[in-house]
Amino acid sequence: MKQTMKDLPETERPYEKCIREGEETLSDSELLSVILRCGTKGCSSLALANNILKHMQESSYPGLPGLIHSSLADLEKIHGVGKVKAVQLKCIGELSKRISMAAAKPSLSFHHPDSIASYYMERLRHQEQELLICMMLDNRNHLLSERLISKGTVNATLVTPREIYMEAVRCHAVSLILVHNHPGGDPEPSGCDREITQRIYEAGELLGIRLLDHIIIGDRSYTSFKERGMMR
């Protein structure tokens, strides 16, 4: 027998519970149901939310993080989820990443690798392919610009110092910081990571644009070449 939200006692309805007791008292499925607002024919938003989370439990990324890793096509395979709700769910994941970056921004310091890792952690740790980002700084260590240099495998044959320093000269940068992720979750630098870093560092020394650090983001962990004493 199908159940709608009106069939539930008022004490069990997520929207009313949020008003009465606060949003922190809601379960994951209750939060999701409030955001979805409505379910489908014969299926309440709470039942739909439970169905979505059940689907995520069977994926490689259980729970709410599954929303970030699922494509629109993946989400539309869930019974009761059409294109509109799939877009809503993807936007929830993106919003969570942006909130995390905004919260980390006030403590962002280019002298402290841990603050840079915190700033990029939620944006990069969920990525399923490698992204290489270049942060370009002025002579007071203020961020001038951020550029996505490479998307896919970060390979020394594909990432060249030339393209990085062309961007740096265009932005009038005096120093750089590289940030990239390891989708597997282990931030330990590979031989290729070391080779790329060395080539870019040496090119920068010749051009007078210093590479200050290369930070690799893993799953809730990071490695800083600067902290490891590998920037030389």
Could you tell me the domains of the chain?
5-101 (1.10.150), 108-224 (3.40.140.10)
Say if residue 207's pLDDT is above 70: yes
Contacts of 138 (CB under 8 A, 6+ apart): 144, 172, 173, 174
3-state secondary structure of 213: strand
Phi (first) and psi of residue 218, to 5 degrees: -110, -155
Measured N-to-C along each axis, helices 83-104 and 113-124 cross at an angle, to the nearest 10 degrees, of: 180
d(CA 157, CA 77): 39
Q: Which residue has 């008292």 as its token pair?
A: 25
What pLDDT score was predicted for residue 63? 87
Say if residue 75's pLDDT is above 70: yes
- Residue range 179-187: mean pLDDT, rounded: 94
* 99-155 tens-digit pLDDT: 988 888 888 899 999 999 999 999 999 888 899 999 999 998 899 999 999 887 766
**pLDDT-derived band of residue 3, with 50, 70 and 90 as boundaries?**
low
Dihedral sign for Cα atoms in the order 230, 103, 86, 15: positive
pTM for the full predicted model: 0.77
Contact between residue 176 and residue 198 where contact means Cβ atoms under 8 Å apart: no
What pLDDT score was predicted for residue 128? 85
Contacts of 62 (CB under 8 A, 6+ apart): 56
Say if residue 1's pLDDT is above 50: no
d(CA 33, CA 10): 15
Contact between residue 116 and residue 156 where contact means Cβ atoms under 8 Å apart: no
d(CA 45, CA 196): 49
β-strand partners of 224: 215
d(CA 55, CA 74): 10
What pLDDT score was predicted for residue 135? 95
* 4-63 tens-digit pLDDT: 777 777 778 899 999 999 999 999 999 999 999 888 877 888 989 999 999 998 877 788
The residue count for the chain? 232
Buried b (16+ CB within 10 A) or exposed e, 103-133: ebeeeeebeebeebbbbbbbbbbbbeebbbb
What pLDDT score was predicted for residue 232? 73
Contacts of 209 (CB under 8 A, 6+ apart): 165, 168, 169, 173, 174, 175, 176
Helix (H) or strand (E) holding 149: strand 143-151
* Radius of gyration, alpha carbons of the chain: 22
**pLDDT-derived band of residue 156, with 50, 70 and 90 as boundaries?**
low
What pLDDT score was predicted for residue 160? 86
